[in-house]
Amino acid sequence: MALNSPLHGVVPPVCTPLDGDGSVDTASLTRLVEHLVDGGVHGLFALGSTSEVAYLTDAQRRTALETVVRVAAGRVPVLAGAIDTTTARVVEHARAAAESGADALVATAPFYTRTHPVEIAGHFRRIRSAVDLPLFAYDIPVSVHSKLPAALVRGLAEDGTLAGLKDSSGDEGGLRRLIVELGGAAARTAAREAAGAAGSPGFSILTGAELTVDAALLAGADGVVPGIGNVDPAAYVRIYDAARAGEWALAAKEQERLVALFSLVDVGPEPDMGRSSSALGAFKAALQLLGVIACRDTAFPQVQLSDDSVEQVAERLRAAGLTPLR
Amino acid sequence: MALNSPLHGVVPPVCTPLDGDGSVDTASLTRLVEHLVDGGVHGLFALGSTSEVAYLTDAQRRTALETVVRVAAGRVPVLAGAIDTTTARVVEHARAAAESGADALVATAPFYTRTHPVEIAGHFRRIRSAVDLPLFAYDIPVSVHSKLPAALVRGLAEDGTLAGLKDSSGDEGGLRRLIVELGGAAARTAAREAAGAAGSPGFSILTGAELTVDAALLAGADGVVPGIGNVDPAAYVRIYDAARAGEWALAAKEQERLVALFSLVDVGPEPDMGRSSSALGAFKAALQLLGVIACRDTAFPQVQLSDDSVEQVAERLRAAGLTPLR
Amino acid sequence: MALNSPLHGVVPPVCTPLDGDGSVDTASLTRLVEHLVDGGVHGLFALGSTSEVAYLTDAQRRTALETVVRVAAGRVPVLAGAIDTTTARVVEHARAAAESGADALVATAPFYTRTHPVEIAGHFRRIRSAVDLPLFAYDIPVSVHSKLPAALVRGLAEDGTLAGLKDSSGDEGGLRRLIVELGGAAARTAAREAAGAAGSPGFSILTGAELTVDAALLAGADGVVPGIGNVDPAAYVRIYDAARAGEWALAAKEQERLVALFSLVDVGPEPDMGRSSSALGAFKAALQLLGVIACRDTAFPQVQLSDDSVEQVAERLRAAGLTPLR
Amino acid sequence: MALNSPLHGVVPPVCTPLDGDGSVDTASLTRLVEHLVDGGVHGLFALGSTSEVAYLTDAQRRTALETVVRVAAGRVPVLAGAIDTTTARVVEHARAAAESGADALVATAPFYTRTHPVEIAGHFRRIRSAVDLPLFAYDIPVSVHSKLPAALVRGLAEDGTLAGLKDSSGDEGGLRRLIVELGGAAARTAAREAAGAAGSPGFSILTGAELTVDAALLAGADGVVPGIGNVDPAAYVRIYDAARAGEWALAAKEQERLVALFSLVDVGPEPDMGRSSSALGAFKAALQLLGVIACRDTAFPQVQLSDDSVEQVAERLRAAGLTPLR
């Protein structure tokens, strides 16, 4: 499907369920996509960091993306991460994603190597010209170890290279400055509505800051890419709807509930476990407990949550009014 | 004056005007304090980072703080930074600040040395027990190079060591989690009102994220410490009042105007000038242009803004509806 | 060829010459390998950071490695980088490298994702068990953004997972501690000679610190992987030979000459150019000036050196007694 | 005493013994200085990081420095750290140090605030002009969070602002480049001898990299500032003497013994203890075990080593042939 208006709303980064031997579990992934679409989300982001893209082989990436596209079946657009170190490698992923039916692409700045804004600009321009799909810049310094400069993003927005920004930088002040430079919250909302009517793509700002979505929407962001939206997509949709209705106190109340639920990422880390692994493991454990996916394993070499930790995840679900199957 | 309710509202970090030979210009500082109090601020933070505390000798710190206290004259409470590398040195500053009439103290974790949460807890406890004034923890990793762990802050809030947190960490998600753990926005607002009536100090959360104050207030922060609040204090008061009234769209609109004004920090850096110097220099240049202070010099060895840059500051002021005297 | 003694000596990271459209220039690469072998190097490291591995597609990696293996023709062993974000992807590169005839593999810890020592250990163990070639750990925090803990390396050395370490961490004190824990310089030298006679692989420590090779050899390192060894391999061989002969003042003098030559990486960066690009560009410019490779282009999106910068590279070559062809 | 030749040799950063209530124990400090001078050291560095300068009040700094100067009694020169956030504060410490009889000053770049090379140059120039003592730049990014640029150091060396550099940056490659730019190891040694004869101060490079002193001397450094030199000063003197005699294998052997001894810093950290505290605590525990100082306490808020850890320190001392009194 075409992104015929600026992408907005709740666009969860879709977890990639694995079976016990580490293969992509397409049956579980099918249920997860249905769970998300049923929750009312506005789009799906496959092959993002929360999808464990960095752990998936090219074949696994293809399997995961094709499954998401097939199950989404045009009900919502599917964004696909094209995540690799530099341009030529990213372009190969981008072509594969286009072949698999993605509606848009998401790419970071070069990583592993040190880079420079001029190089980053060239990087995005070449990806955009190589594959004819809307392109989102993915600003995630915790993985890429550089921050996309605001002036660079603005330039690439204005010249049409970028269709949007997925901001996982945590720099809310910088994001606010960008939004103001792009016209401000009110003007952007009006433009989004007009653009949507006209079928024009516009420029979309999606925040990855899943604990402050109400704030980001107040500031003028178009949507959110929440990892824990895998677990409770409908709650993020409620925040989004409240925000669009100007019901900010309600949006904040819903956000607080999700902040509390988010504490399930703290059940780890086990003593011998990385922080990232424990968060992904907790999301997957929650999805397993809710009956959405069959196996909670994260990809090797991540360490798995202990049963005790999973029991704590179950408690956090119950505290948030979600009912584990066991 | 006693902090007889949780500190809230707009508490600018008061710039320290200097004359041409680097001495504290108490006449300008007097005018600046009047400018802030006239703007409706709820408190004053002397000897913070924006006050150039790191550049001031002990004698200059005393002069600056005594001036602020004298001019404030009990109309608003005065917080004083006690900024130094470790506990014994901080305690000496804290005692001096108490003698100078500060109403509360603000201290960071140890810096220059590497530290540990257990040490940080001991540090704050000893400061609190050494000087009988409400104590705020100042979380400013850009200067201190460690982040205050949320669990540490919560523990020190609950045992009464800390009267509040001044959060300049930029970690809005972490701050949201802390607020939710402390009861959430609605409960905190209710408690603040009850505590104020009872004269109880409570626990106060002030954000230093001056570009997203509307968002922080929506999330449940009690107030803000905005550097550019030196230039336009009344605008921050308008955000605060709008937020308290639940007028979030209005708060956001005021915030956007201040985001635009904030761009005056970008007039530098000159080619041979640090980013921090240029921001402080721009604040002071704006205050000089508005007739509040006599000289825009920042403390040695900071490089001074060029006349061209100052002219750009003047343009930004005009664009924001503030009228330079020249 | 088998690595039938601990790998030692000068093992340059082989640059990957490209032609004007960005394809691997196998004719130039052939000349470069001959240039290195003629210089007396003891091994070749293909597909490392200096080889621009992060910029090469899988097909380009294969072409480059096969060329190096073919031209080396068993005269010296060929190590191949298997550089990717996590285990499953690295294993695919490792298998491809084995098929291409590599004699040993070089892999980093996981990157892009955050990781943990337990995960890193599992990562190396799985790579080792998946592909039956000697495995070197590549410690390069500037790219990977984590440092391999010494205890981890020692454990993986002792259990036979690792055949060696390529240390580009810059932590010379940490490296010294590791060497002492592994027996110290004198004992390691004796063991290396004994192991070599016995055909036993041993554990090899190669430093990437090309400006302090004399020091590393004095400390007990087995060899060096010098980027600028592409330009003047014989000089590094002279350092190595002097060190083995106990002629430390001579080794230091040769090192100083190479330190001076290394300043050619400073001819950039051009105003709009990254530091990494300018160093790689300078190496390639020097190789082109010396007639070894046909085209000095670095891979997209790196910015190319200006002609002025290349002229400065030529001057540095002349100052070091190397004669540019033009 | 005047620094009448470039400072060279072993210049330990003198620990500051404290008694049980945290006061400077001048009797223990007297014994420590005698221990160091007896060990043959060539200078003493008081009020450095290892001296816990960041933890000492101004009065304590004065007591410690005056004690070191008095006990040294002109037998070796005394360098004094003037450690504070920015210029005006550093100048006050520098004046106090001059009054206390220091022979030279050691200062870092500004910290807590962000800074810029132009500001750092102004900072050192003003300190130098304010207090007429030789000035050493202290490059310690782990504390100051910026690295002194080599070009800046070279410029300040050439214009006579700096008498030397105390390099604790860990960037051995950068140090090597600086040394080569300053003429190289052989030329510097010749110049040092000539300058010493002429009473000219020259420019002195001291490394803080205490685990690779042999390497630094081979590279052309003039001396070393080793923390663990407090414990075994004579061993560092043996390295220095071996290096000056060209006995590099002997120097390396002595260095290896000290690397092994240095592992006493690993007895901690205790679970609730910072890494820095445990290293300082281990140095002090060793000094107490050797009968040099009375109490091993480090300054508040550092956590103290457990008795178990101290027993491990004793074992490491015995393993190195040093005999604890108990």
Q: In whole angstroms, give the CA distance from residue D248 to residue D255.
A: 10
Q: Out of B56, B83, B301, whose CB is closest to D119?
A: B301
Strands laid side by side in the B44-46 sheet:
B9-10, B223-224, B204-207, B164-167, B135-139, B104-107, B78-81, B44-46
SS3 for A16-85 is CCECCCCCECHHHHHHHHHHHHHCCCCCEEECCHHHCHHHCCHHHHHHHHHHHHHHHCCCCCEEEECCCC
β-pair partners for A46: A80
Structure tokens, A20: 């016990």
A181-185, B247-251, D54-58, range with the lowest pLDDT? A181-185
Question: Which of B275-279, C62-66, D307-311, D322-326 is predicted with the least confidence, judged by mean pLDDT?
Answer: B275-279
pLDDT at A6: 81
Angle made by CA atoms A194, A197, A202, in degrees to the nearest 5? 60
Please compute the mean of the pLDDT values over residues C40-53 and round it to a whole number.
98
Across C260-274, average pLDDT: 81
Partners of residue A177 in chain B, C-beta under 8 Å: 211, 259, 262-263
Q: Please tell me the total number of residues recorded for chain D in this structure.
A: 326
Q: Across residues D11-37, what is the average pLDDT?
A: 98
Q: What pLDDT was estimated at residue D114?
A: 92
Report yes or no on A19 lying in a domain.
yes
CA angle A144, A150, A151 (to 5 degrees): 120
The shortest C-alpha distance from A88 to chain C (Å) reads 6
Q: How far is C68 from chain D (nearest CA, A)?
A: 29
* 8 A C-beta contact, residue D53 and residue D227: no
How high is the mean pLDDT of chain B? 94
Structure tokens at C273: 């150019």
Chain D: nearest CA to C219, how far in angstroms?
Answer: 7
Q: Count chain C–chain D contacts defined by CB atoms under 8 A.
A: 89
Cβ <8 Å between C301 and A122: yes
Q: What is the rounded distance in angstroms from the CA atom of residue D280 to the CA atom of residue D276?
A: 6
Report the alpha-carbon distance of residue C62 to residue C57 in Å, rounded: 9
pLDDT, averaged across chain C: 94
pLDDT for B199 beyond 60? no
DSSP string, D34-98: HHHHHTT-S-EEESSTTTTGGG--HHHHHHHHHHHHHHHTTSS-EEEE---SSHHHHHHHHHHHH
Asked whether C143 and C49 are in contact (CB, 8 A), the reply is yes
The whole-angstrom separation of Cα A33 and Cα D242 is 71
- The H-or-E segment that residue A232 falls in is none
Residue B265 lies in a domain: no
Reported as a single tens digit per residue, the pLDDT across C207-220 is: 999 999 999 999 99
Please tell me the predicted confidence (pLDDT) of residue C325.
86
Task: Identify whether B115 is part of a domain.
Answer: yes
Which residues on adjacent β-strands are paired with residue D205? D165
Size of interface B-D (CB pairs under 8 A): 132
Would D322 be classed as within a structural domain? Answer: no
Read off the pLDDT of residues A94-108 as tens digits, 9 standing for 90 and up: 999 999 999 999 999
Tens-place pLDDT, residues A188-198? 888 877 876 66
Distance CA A36, CA C46 (A): 45
> Which value, to the nearest 10 degrees, does the dihedral of the CA atoms of residues C182, C185, C189, C195 take?
0
Contacts with A234 (C-beta within 8 Å, 6 or more apart), sequence order: A39, A40
> Would you state the pLDDT for residue A198?
63
Q: Which of A1-5, C48-52, C135-139 has the lowest mean pLDDT?
A: A1-5
pLDDT recorded at residue C259: 98
- pLDDT recorded at residue D1: 64
Task: Give the pLDDT score at A304.
Answer: 94
Do the Cβ atoms of B87 and D54 come within 8 Å?
Answer: no
Q: In which band, very low, low, confident or very high, does the pLDDT at C283 lie, cut at 50, 70 and 90?
A: very high
pLDDT > 90: what percent of chain C? 88
Mean pLDDT of B256-285: 87
Q: Is residue A251 part of a domain?
A: no
pLDDT of residue A218: 97
pLDDT at residue D190 tops 70: yes
Q: Which helix (H) or strand (E) holds B226?
A: none
Q: How much is the pLDDT for C278?
A: 87
**Rounded to the nearest 5°, which phi and psi values hold at D223?**
-175, -170
d(CA B13, CA B53) in angstroms, rounded, equals: 11
Average pLDDT score over residue span B5-32: 96
Q: Do chains D and B touch (3 or more CB pairs under 8 A)?
A: yes
User: What confidence tens digit (pLDDT) does each residue in B94-142 have?
Assistant: 999 999 999 999 999 999 999 999 999 999 999 999 999 999 999 999 9
Neighbour-count burial for A276-304, b at 16+ CB within 10 Å, e otherwise: bbbbbbbbbbbbbbbebbbebbbbbbbbb
Check residue C189 and give its pLDDT.
83
Q: Which pLDDT belongs to residue D198?
A: 63
Q: How open is the CA angle C199-C204-C207, to the nearest 5 degrees?
A: 150
Which chain B residues have a beta carbon less than 8 Å from that of A255? 176, 219
Minimal CA separation from D275 to chain B, in Å = 7
Tell me what the mean pLDDT of segment C179-202 comes to: 81
Check if C141 contacts D (Cβ < 8 Å).
no
> Confidence class of residue C31 from pLDDT cuts 50, 70 and 90?
very high
Verify whether the Cβ–Cβ distance B112 to D275 is below 8 Å: no
pLDDT band (50, 70, 90) for residue D193: confident
Instruction: Give the pLDDT score at B196.
Output: 66
Q: Which residues of D touch C224 (CB under 8 A)?
A: none
pLDDT reported for residue B235:
98
The CATH number that applies at residue A203 is 3.20.20.70
Res. A126 pLDDT band, cuts 50 70 90: very high
Inter-residue contact C9 to C242 (CB < 8 Å): no
Residue labelled with tokens 């926005």: B185
Share of chain C above pLDDT 70, in %: 95
Q: Assign B4 a pLDDT band (cuts: 50, 70, 90).
A: low
Please report which confidence band the pLDDT of residue D189 belongs to, taking 50, 70 and 90 as the band edges: confident
Inform me whether the pLDDT recorded for A275 exceeds 90: no
Domain assignment of residue B161, given as a range: 9-246
Is residue C5 within 8 Å of residue C199, measured between CB atoms?
A: yes
- For chain B, which chains pass the contact test of at least 3 CB pairs under 8 Å? A, D
Other residues' Cβ atoms within 10 Å of the Cβ of residue A142: 14
Q: Measured between alpha carbons, how far is C34 from D173 in angstroms, rounded to an integer?
A: 29
pLDDT at residue B322 in the model: 97
Average pLDDT score over chain D: 94
pLDDT above 90: residue B271: no
Section A279-303 average pLDDT: 97
Minimum distance, in Å, between the CA of residue B236 and any CA atom of chain D: 25
Name which of D210, D212, D252 is nearest C185 (Cβ-Cβ): D252
The DSSP string of C246-308 is: T-HHHHHHHHHHHHHHHGGGGS---TT--HHHHHHHHHHHHHHHTTS-S--PPPTTSPPPPHH
**Is D169 an interface residue toward C (CB < 8 Å)?**
no
pLDDT in tens, C85-131: 999 999 999 999 999 999 999 999 999 999 999 999 999 999 999 99
Measured between CA atoms, the residue of chain C closest to residue D244 is C249
User: In this predicted structure, what is the pLDDT of residue B198?
Assistant: 63
Q: Is residue C1 part of a domain?
A: no
As a whole number, mean pLDDT of residues B140-150 equals: 96
Element of type H or E holding C80: strand C78-81
pLDDT at C198 over 70: no
Residue A64 has pLDDT above 80, yes or no: yes
Q: Report the residue from D210, D246, D260 with minimal CB separation from C180.
A: D260
Domain count for chain A: 1
- Give per-residue pLDDT as tens, A161-185: 999 999 999 999 999 999 999 999 9
Calpha distance D90→A20 (Å, rounded): 62
pTM of the model: 0.96
Q: Does A4 score more than 90 pLDDT? A: no
pLDDT range class, residue C192, cuts 50, 70, 90? confident
C134 half-sphere exposure, CB direction, 13 A CA radius? 24
Q: Give pLDDT, residue A202.
A: 81
pLDDT for B197 equals 65
Which of D22, D58, D115 is opposite residue B274, by nearest beta carbon? D115
pLDDT > 70? residue A118: yes
Q: Does D204 touch chain C if contact means CB atoms closer than 8 Å?
A: no
- SS3 of residue B223 by DSSP: strand
Query: From the candidates D142, D212, D224, D275, which should be mutated to test the interface with C, based on the most C CB atoms within 10 A?
Result: D212
Q: What is the reported pLDDT for C1?
A: 64
The pLDDT confidence band at residue C2, using thresholds 50, 70 and 90, is low
User: Which residues 224-283 in chain B show a CB within 8 A of chain D?
Assistant: 269, 272-277
Residue C200 has pLDDT above 70, yes or no: no
Residues 6+ apart with CB under 8 A from A161: A124, A125, A128, A135
B120 vs B116: CA distance, rounded Å? 6
Q: Which of the two residues, B304 and A278, has the higher pLDDT score?
A: B304
Q: Is residue D130's pLDDT more than 70?
A: yes
Token pair 């620990």: residue: D15
Which residues of chain D are within 8 Å of residue C249 when distances are taken between CB atoms? 186, 246
Identify the pLDDT of residue A325: 86
DSSP D13: B
Classify residue C161: in a domain, yes or no: yes
Instruction: Answer whether residue B5 shows pLDDT above 80.
Output: no
C171 reaches D (C-beta below 8 A): yes
pLDDT for the residue numbered D269: 64
Interface of A with C in 93-112 (CB under 8 A): 110-112
Share of chain A above pLDDT 70, in %: 95
